[in-house]
Structure 1
Amino acid sequence: MTIILDPRTTGAPATAVPPVAPAPSGAPEAPDWLLRHARLPLTRRVPWLLPVAVRIHRARRRLLWWTAPLRGVRFARRPDAAARAALADPEARRAAFGVRVARHGSLLRRDLDPAEMVWQENKVVNLGLAGARLDGVVIRPGETFSFNRLVGEATRRRGYLPGMRLSQGRAIVGVGGGLCQLANLVHWMVLHSPLTVVERSEHSFDTFPDRGRVLPWGVGVSIVYNYVDLVVRNDTEHTFHLTVGIDEPHLRGELRSDSPLPHSYRVHARHEEFLRYEGSVYRRNEIWRTVIDRVTGDVVGEELLKRNCARVVYEPDPARVRDVG
């Protein structure tokens, strides 16, 4: 997986997004960016290093959280019960946060083998528990939103159930499975706001075909407590309010602001392609954001948000695959 870090929040140097070579024609050699993605990471070549690396990453993240005040980092917190109750009424919420910035919904269940539906139902339970930790969170100017700090660790003791989650391109069963769907929903709404994505990780594999896909490929988020996180910072003068919850058959969310924003945003993918290299298929694209003036409706800018590349674990349409190398 790829992790993008911002030094102001993590204390680590920012990771530069490598340039992507223009798509060549004919029968080209594999470009450098593809060679980098085709190379197995050290923890897959030497599996016994993985638990050691996980312990190191978790200890480092705990240290970063503990020392956050020394670096001037203020984390958004869950409001207390009185504050949540005051904003529980939709009219009160609209009065305090009168501008709807973004909203989104995703289906809670996929069409799977009947024997696997138990994991889908467990996922709904997990999403309800985690969503309750995020529902009502207020992100004030200068504050940082951390998915993992707010949701906490998904354990059996806290009521989480075994559900499906992705690992190395395969769907496996694990306690707390399905929380990436909640992170995906929050991330998609954030992309339609002026909030700054400080840290975000995606899955290293393209696991499912595009059948029924609503969002562009490459905007998803991977979550592993506590070191693989979705971190967002409010660099604006506006205060934002997040609501999420189960509304059968959907997981729904809404992001609101306390005052009007100058721009709206449209997020889309460009330069989609499938490349076959040494027997494996890789998918790449670019995620762009169009910035629109809310008053005039004019396009005032475009931003390249992310370049994606991942190994494909299903067989795509052969007509869309180009051989390289």
Structure 2
Amino acid sequence: MGRKLFCELCPLTYEISRQKCILSRHIRNFTSKEKFAKAKSPFPLPYQIFSHSSLMRRKLGTVDMVLQENKVFNLSLAVPLVNGVLIHPGEIFSFWNLVGNTTLAKGYKTGLAIKMGSPSQDVGGGLCQFTNLIHWMVLHTPLTVIERHQHDQLDLFPDFKRKVPFGLGTSIVYNYFDYQFQNNTTATYQIVIYQTEENLCGEIRSDQSQPYQYKIYTVNEFFSKEEDGIYRNGEVILEKIDTYFNVCIERTILQKNHAKVTYDTTGLKILQ
């Protein structure tokens, strides 16, 4: 067994390490010359580029549904802080810059979180669904993702009404695990976010039409049995399509998955 990191010694050393990371990010943001998106408009920009919705209450293995309800509440606090934000040319969208710290004092509840590769609980938990939605929409635009974190290539929960290819999720921790993208185009973009009774819904809008569409899908997906467990494999493909000629002009491998499955695999087709 390897030597433990300082943050792994005890809860106190973990908190010291966490506060150090938070302070470092504050200093980095304060001294940065980058311009972060802050301005909002209650009026939607004229062109809808892409829209998506995700179910807020999902059955995630044996996770207590109370944590799901708390997540829905946490989202209701965070959504107004992002809804309507404009990302002008050259600006950077930073999730934590807009939402801020998710504390009990602000009304956030204990929701589902992932810690050390396992389901856990934390105040403000569940907001990764928010950045998952934003990331999926951003992938359908020419906007450039500049910071994204993942859950260490782990397949944590069985599929439940999956709409988005596996492996495109995000991991966020205030404020040092952020989700950021930059607008390197000449157009202004806008994120519109709202909740219905069942879904978290979003749109990316712009003041200009977009000459390309983006198609994202998975190929060569399968489960394999390996020495230390079952793994989920596959490649996520992104195609850039010219909307005028309806032809693919660029095809790239967005991500390669080789994720260890952490749930009961009974019923799955597994290659030996």
Q: TM-score, normalised by structure 2?
A: 0.89
Once the two structures are TM-superposed, the CA of residue 158 in structure 1 deviates from its matched residue by 0.8
Query: Structure 1's 78 and 309: CA in aligned 2 closer, same or farther, altered over 3 A?
Result: farther
CA contact (8 A) 1:145 1:233 kept: yes
Instruction: Tell me what 2:31 maps to.
Output: 67
Question: What is the SS of the residue equivalent to 2:105?
Answer: coil
Question: What is the SS of the residue equivalent to 2:170?
Answer: coil
- Counterpart amino acid of 1:202? Q
If you compute each CA radius of gyration, which structure gives the higher value, 1 or 2?
A: 1
**Runs of at least 4 residues of structure 1 off by over 4 A?**
40-46, 49-53, 112-115
Quote the Cα distance in structure 2 between the aligned partners of 1:131 and 1:183.
11
Instruction: Tell me what 1:130 maps to.
Output: 78
Instruction: Tell me what 2:263 maps to.
Output: 314
Quote the Cα distance in structure 2 between the aligned partners of 1:159 and 1:137.
22
CA contact (8 A) 2:61 2:263 kept: no
- Counterpart amino acid of 2:229? S
Instruction: Tell me what 1:14 maps to.
Output: none
More helix by share: 1
Query: Structure 1's 318 and 247: CA in aligned 2 closer, same or farther, altered over 3 A?
Result: closer
Question: What is the SS of the residue equivalent to 1:192?
Answer: coil
CA contact (8 A) 1:78 1:134 kept: no
Once the two structures are TM-superposed, the CA of residue 187 in structure 1 deviates from its matched residue by 0.4
- Counterpart amino acid of 2:32? A
Gaps of 5+ in 2: none
Mapped pair 1:76 → 2:25: no
Query: Structure 1's 154 and 42: CA in aligned 2 closer, same or farther, altered over 3 A?
Result: farther
Q: TM-score, normalised by structure 1?
A: 0.75
Instruction: Tell me what 2:205 maps to.
Output: 256
CA contact (8 A) 1:169 1:206 kept: no
Quote the Cα distance in structure 2 between the aligned partners of 1:74 and 1:152.
17
- Counterpart amino acid of 1:54? R
Gaps of 5+ in 1: 1-39, 88-92
Quote the Cα distance in structure 1 between the aligned partners of 2:15 and 2:226.
30
Quote the Cα distance in structure 2 between the aligned partners of 1:321 and 1:169.
24
Quote the Cα distance in structure 2 between the aligned partners of 1:234 and 1:167.
31
Quote the Cα distance in structure 2 between the aligned partners of 1:301 and 1:41.
44
Instruction: Tell me what 2:184 maps to.
Output: 235
Instruction: Tell me what 2:66 maps to.
Output: 118
Mapped pair 1:141 → 2:105: no
Identity, in percent, stands at 37
Question: What is the SS of the residue equivalent to 2:64?
Answer: helix
